[in-house]
Amino acid sequence: MEIVLQELKEVAVVPQQFKDEEKPPKFIFRYPNAADVIDFFVFNDISRTASRCFLRFENKPLLMKNNECIDYNTYAEFIALGASEIINIIHSECAAALLPLIYKTKDEADKTEKK
């Protein structure tokens, strides 16, 4: 048996309101693969697909509510906090970055599919 390393493509999303920061928070996702595309078209849920593709935070945003930190470790936990305009905006930006990649992966798969 042989192990071959595959280069994983990543997608980094820096929310618009943090673009001017010296070290802005980043949401890092892996490039959607065929399984992610199928999952998206079956469930039609970009939140689910984004959670599947999420890799890590860089400079994770600190969320405060009533002067207390809200702890979260995954993208799914982050968007589950969603009753906040800022979270909804960030999630929209992440979804906007992932959707074209999902359709691109689907188009590439369609081209290689045997007819």
pLDDT digits (tens, 9 = 90+) for 32-65: 999 999 999 999 999 999 999 999 999 999 988 8
pLDDT at 6: 75
Is residue 52 a part of any domain in this protein? Answer: yes
CA separation for the pair 104, 107 (Å, rounded): 5
Residue 115: per-residue pLDDT: 59
Query: Which pTM does this prediction carry?
Result: 0.86
In a domain, 76, yes or no: yes
Report if residue 90 sits inside a domain.
Answer: no
The pLDDT value given to residue 61? 92
In a domain, 58, yes or no: yes
Identify the pLDDT of residue 114. 67
**Number of structural domains found in the chain:** 1
Q: pLDDT below 50 — which residues of the chain?
A: none
> CA-CA distance, 44 to 47, in Å (whole number)?
9
Q: Could you tell me the residue range of the domain that residue 77 belongs to?
A: 24-85+102-107
